Chains A and B, each alone.
Chain A
């Protein structure tokens, strides 16, 4: 576990090669490594995006339409939960509950909590990131 946590800390995820190496190093079956990695929610098997998008699907968020928000993100980013966009800008996942049910439905983007999200708000958030990126590109040119 600590080895895997360190690898993930450095690479941001656990590539297949790394898991194979860990198994060989510890002299345990590859399957055991894989089972630990998949048991705990904190490990991920694909590289993270620059920004992480976490849609809360706690009870309150669900009842207030969290699943519709998740659909909106999926549609806009073109990926399923647990995946990363091909340009590695965003990765999308769900979270059981971030504990601010009063603000439902909630999306957590990087470290910021976005309360009362709606499908149109999703577009707004994406647009603001796009604008930020454009600005950065302009500066670097």
Chain B
């Protein structure tokens, strides 16, 4: 790649860069300790705001001076709230599960004193001779951070941090290139759209670039509707400028002059941080008219989604920006030829665009060297559900599911057995243990009946009922179906009714065939991705876990003891301890009483099956059990 940076652009950028770098060095080299607190939504849910306050208070009362900055999410959501402390003379340290009390101690003992409080530490953030580093953990053998490189390491509300880490350099370089060269570079990198379908990004850009139309648009799709996926949120909250830079480069390459960034209204913090980022970029002349003094002008507008899953589909998303109800329409014409307001429009996912600056900076061969034959680069997954290390992870394409779940994710908590992993949200599927050695990429997942989707990965263990999982996803897609295609609107409803009957033990064996037939019909008869993929969870669970369906129907039994209508809670009289009444007090509906022998008994009429008593029963007794079918509960005397 030949890079001929325009001299005027180069000097404008150099100025920004040296200012950013001097601020960055000042922060780290001033001799003051630097404390970072992860305050993305996940950190906040765990109480990061209280931790932040505690740190500030304690610094004040100790009369200590330190730079306290808020950062995004490092991906270690299981250990939130996460605090890092960099103090001269020590390697930078990361602390997990921090409470306000621990935060105070960290300030007193480490910042003010000289005890790095190893009992709370996750590890050092650098290899060193003193303290074990978190990079010695097995997960880092598998992980490769490209998109998550800056997440949790820079202040997302300070553009200088991004620039100091090499940000906007790619943009400055690109402005001296021909748009065609950039498209070619992206095409050679093998980058495929990270929204789920995996369409080659370079090809999409080329269609739009070669269009003669003068008005073109670029849309960044941040309508991350899949329940269970949160990597787009994390990137927008932790490193918003990388997405903006990707949009600017994409705009330059395709000839678009206006961009929209579509963010879910359910992500208020992401909306707020993107707004801040837009304001700062505009202020520095990185956005708007004559960017960095060149003749390239591009502006980005933030658009808030109004809460509809189907709006993640590109034609529905366009309709939504145009002010209409978010209903998809027939493709072709594809948005790249005829999109927003009838003009050529490129729609890319948040992650796709965030890769772009890195590809431009490091070159196509660098990106193409990672991953598998047909899926290049890395994949970001949101690990959730029954896995120890929930959070974000980024691994090269081709890593196996087993490595992701057991090495990176740390396996299943409480020594339970792995049952399945649900990939790709409501459009994806559930894969059983036999599929665990599958290398993950776009094509292998599709063959197995799942799909990459946006990359949500929910791990299920032996306590999760596969029929219930399928029912849950279908309920979701059924509710979110916009109602345009008959098969999707009515077919999903019918399937849902059958599944509900199964979870209540009221279905017939023939219903399973009806389910499979309906699933195929809906796939064939729907316009958009929502309908085409809605039956996937049902089809994959039917394929891999048919025995569970049959147990529900034939025996009225839920093997995972999850379907509330098919289970009952029962206290084993010979295990129940007379002197203990832990369950009686915790029962939320006062359904537990003592009999004459002071053994606790559950009133099945009153019981709402919330499971609180099971958690409350002390582990040395373990007297509360679940039974299925419910008529296995012996009559009480």
- Taking a contact as CB atoms under 8 Å apart, the answer to whether B266 and A60 are in contact is no
Residue on A nearest B77 in the bound complex, by CB: A102
Q: From the candidates B234, B309, B464, B610, name the one contacting A63 in the complex (CB within 8 A).
A: B464
Q: Does B51 contact A (CB under 8 A)?
A: no
- Taking a contact as CB atoms under 8 Å apart, the answer to whether B309 and A96 are in contact is yes
Q: Does B276 contact A (CB under 8 A)?
A: no
For chain A, the bracket of interface size reads: 35 or more
For the complex formed, measure the closest distance between the CB of B591 and the CB atoms of chain A, giving whole angstroms: 12
When chains A and B are docked, how far (Å) is the Cα of A113 from the Cα of B233? 15
- Taking a contact as CB atoms under 8 Å apart, the answer to whether A59 and B612 are in contact is no
For the complex formed, measure the closest distance between the CB of A112 and the CB atoms of chain B, giving whole angstroms: 8
- Taking a contact as CB atoms under 8 Å apart, the answer to whether B308 and A59 are in contact is no
Q: Does B334 contact A (CB under 8 A)?
A: no
Q: Mark B289-310, 1 if CB is under 8 A from A, else 0.
A: 0000000000000000011110
When chains A and B are docked, how far (Å) is the Cα of A119 from the Cα of B607? 13
Residue on B nearest A57 in the bound complex, by CB: B227
A96-B225, A96-B309 in contact; A101/B588 too (CB < 8 A)?
A: no
Residue on A nearest B231 in the bound complex, by CB: A99
When chains A and B are docked, how far (Å) is the Cα of A96 from the Cα of B233? 14
- Taking a contact as CB atoms under 8 Å apart, the answer to whether B425 and A98 are in contact is no
- Taking a contact as CB atoms under 8 Å apart, the answer to whether A118 and B228 are in contact is no
Restricting to B184-243, which residues have a CB under 8 Å from any CB of A? Answer: 224-230, 233-234
- Taking a contact as CB atoms under 8 Å apart, the answer to whether B227 and A59 are in contact is yes
A1-B323, A40-B308, A42-B307 in contact; A102/B233 too (CB < 8 A)?
A: no
- Taking a contact as CB atoms under 8 Å apart, the answer to whether B612 and A120 are in contact is yes
A95-B266, A99-B230, A113-B45 in contact; A119/B610 too (CB < 8 A)?
A: yes
For the complex formed, measure the closest distance between the CB of A70 and the CB atoms of chain B, giving whole angstroms: 11
Q: Mark B419-432, 1 if CB is under 8 A from A, else 0.
A: 00010010000000
When chains A and B are docked, how far (Å) is the Cα of A104 from the Cα of B387? 12
Q: Mark B261-288, 1 if CB is under 8 A from A, else 0.
A: 0000111100000000000000000000
For the complex formed, measure the closest distance between the CB of A130 and the CB atoms of chain B, giving whole angstroms: 16
Residues on A with C-beta less than 8 A from B306 are 40-42
- Taking a contact as CB atoms under 8 Å apart, the answer to whether A59 and B456 are in contact is yes
Q: Does B44 contact A (CB under 8 A)?
A: yes
Q: Does B367 contact A (CB under 8 A)?
A: no
Q: Mark A65-86, 1 if CB is under 8 A from B, else 0.
A: 1001001100100000000000
For the complex formed, measure the closest distance between the CB of B534 and the CB atoms of chain A, giving whole angstroms: 15
When chains A and B are docked, how far (Å) is the Cα of A100 from the Cα of B325? 28
- Taking a contact as CB atoms under 8 Å apart, the answer to whether A102 and B228 are in contact is no
- Taking a contact as CB atoms under 8 Å apart, the answer to whether A60 and B384 are in contact is yes
Residue on B nearest A1 in the bound complex, by CB: B323
Residue on B nearest A97 in the bound complex, by CB: B227
Q: Mark A89-133, 1 if CB is under 8 A from B, else 0.
A: 000000111111111101000010111001110110000000000
Q: Does B458 contact A (CB under 8 A)?
A: yes
Q: Does B472 contact A (CB under 8 A)?
A: yes
Residue on A nearest B456 in the bound complex, by CB: A59
For the complex formed, measure the closest distance between the CB of B495 and the CB atoms of chain A, giving whole angstroms: 18
- Taking a contact as CB atoms under 8 Å apart, the answer to whether B45 and A64 are in contact is no
- Taking a contact as CB atoms under 8 Å apart, the answer to whether A103 and B77 are in contact is yes
When chains A and B are docked, how far (Å) is the Cα of A62 from the Cα of B425? 13
For chain B, the bracket of interface size reads: 35 or more
Q: From the candidates A57, A63, A75, name the one contacting B588 in the complex (CB within 8 A).
A: A75
- Taking a contact as CB atoms under 8 Å apart, the answer to whether B41 and A98 are in contact is yes
A42-B265, A59-B456 in contact; A115/B228 too (CB < 8 A)?
A: no
Q: Does B160 contact A (CB under 8 A)?
A: no
When chains A and B are docked, how far (Å) is the Cα of A102 from the Cα of B268? 18
- Taking a contact as CB atoms under 8 Å apart, the answer to whether A60 and B46 are in contact is no
Restricting to B561-604, which residues have a CB under 8 Å from any CB of A? Answer: 586, 588-589
When chains A and B are docked, how far (Å) is the Cα of A75 from the Cα of B610? 11
- Taking a contact as CB atoms under 8 Å apart, the answer to whether B323 and A104 are in contact is no
Q: Does A25 contact B (CB under 8 A)?
A: no
Q: Does A36 contact B (CB under 8 A)?
A: yes
Q: From the candidates A60, A68, A95, A99, name the one contacting B458 in the complex (CB within 8 A).
A: A60
Q: Does B390 contact A (CB under 8 A)?
A: yes
Q: Mark B431-456, 1 if CB is under 8 A from A, else 0.
A: 00000000000000000000000001
For the complex formed, measure the closest distance between the CB of A54 and the CB atoms of chain B, giving whole angstroms: 9
Q: From the candidates A68, A102, A122, name the one contacting B390 in the complex (CB within 8 A).
A: A102
Q: Does A58 contact B (CB under 8 A)?
A: yes
When chains A and B are docked, how far (Å) is the Cα of A73 from the Cα of B584? 20
For the complex formed, measure the closest distance between the CB of A141 and the CB atoms of chain B, giving whole angstroms: 31
Residues on B with C-beta less than 8 A from A114 are 45
When chains A and B are docked, how far (Å) is the Cα of A69 from the Cα of B527? 36
- Taking a contact as CB atoms under 8 Å apart, the answer to whether A101 and B266 are in contact is no
- Taking a contact as CB atoms under 8 Å apart, the answer to whether B382 and A68 are in contact is no
For the complex formed, measure the closest distance between the CB of A63 and the CB atoms of chain B, giving whole angstroms: 5
A68-B611, A123-B588 in contact; A58/B227 too (CB < 8 A)?
A: yes
When chains A and B are docked, how far (Å) is the Cα of A63 from the Cα of B537? 15
Residues on A with C-beta less than 8 A from B615 are 118
When chains A and B are docked, how far (Å) is the Cα of A63 from the Cα of B412? 14
Residues on B with C-beta less than 8 A from A101 are 227-228, 230, 382, 384-385, 390, 456, 458
For the complex formed, measure the closest distance between the CB of B51 and the CB atoms of chain A, giving whole angstroms: 14
- Taking a contact as CB atoms under 8 Å apart, the answer to whether B384 and A102 are in contact is yes
When chains A and B are docked, how far (Å) is the Cα of A119 from the Cα of B80? 23
Residue on B nearest A122 in the bound complex, by CB: B588
Residue on B nearest A5 in the bound complex, by CB: B306
Residues on B with C-beta less than 8 A from A57 are 227
Q: Mark B377-403, 1 if CB is under 8 A from A, else 0.
A: 000001011100011000000000000
- Taking a contact as CB atoms under 8 Å apart, the answer to whether B608 and A71 are in contact is yes
Q: From the candidates A42, A75, A96, name the one contacting B589 in the complex (CB within 8 A).
A: A75
- Taking a contact as CB atoms under 8 Å apart, the answer to whether B588 and A99 are in contact is no
Q: From the candidates A65, A99, A102, name the one contacting B80 in the complex (CB within 8 A).
A: A102
A59-B384, A68-B611 in contact; A120/B588 too (CB < 8 A)?
A: yes
Q: Does B544 contact A (CB under 8 A)?
A: no
A60-B458, A123-B588 in contact; A103/B323 too (CB < 8 A)?
A: no
Residues on A with C-beta less than 8 A from B94 are none
When chains A and B are docked, how far (Å) is the Cα of A13 from the Cα of B150? 41
When chains A and B are docked, how far (Å) is the Cα of A96 from the Cα of B476? 8
Q: From the candidates B41, B309, B390, B586, name the one contacting A99 in the complex (CB within 8 A).
A: B41
Residues on A with C-beta less than 8 A from B549 are none
For the complex formed, measure the closest distance between the CB of A7 and the CB atoms of chain B, giving whole angstroms: 15
Residues on B with C-beta less than 8 A from A36 are 325
When chains A and B are docked, how far (Å) is the Cα of A71 from the Cα of B588? 11
- Give 13 new A-B contacts, CB below 8 A, not counting A71-B610, A102-B42: A39-B325, A40-B306, A58-B227, A60-B384, A63-B386, A63-B460, A72-B588, A75-B589, A97-B230, A98-B41, A99-B267, A101-B228, A101-B390
23 contacts between A and B (CB under 8 A): A40-B308, A42-B265, A42-B306, A58-B227, A59-B384, A60-B227, A61-B227, A63-B464, A63-B469, A75-B608, A96-B476, A98-B266, A99-B230, A100-B77, A101-B390, A101-B456, A102-B80, A103-B45, A115-B45, A118-B612, A119-B612, A120-B586, A122-B588
Closest 3 CB pairs of A and B: A58-B227, A102-B77, A59-B228
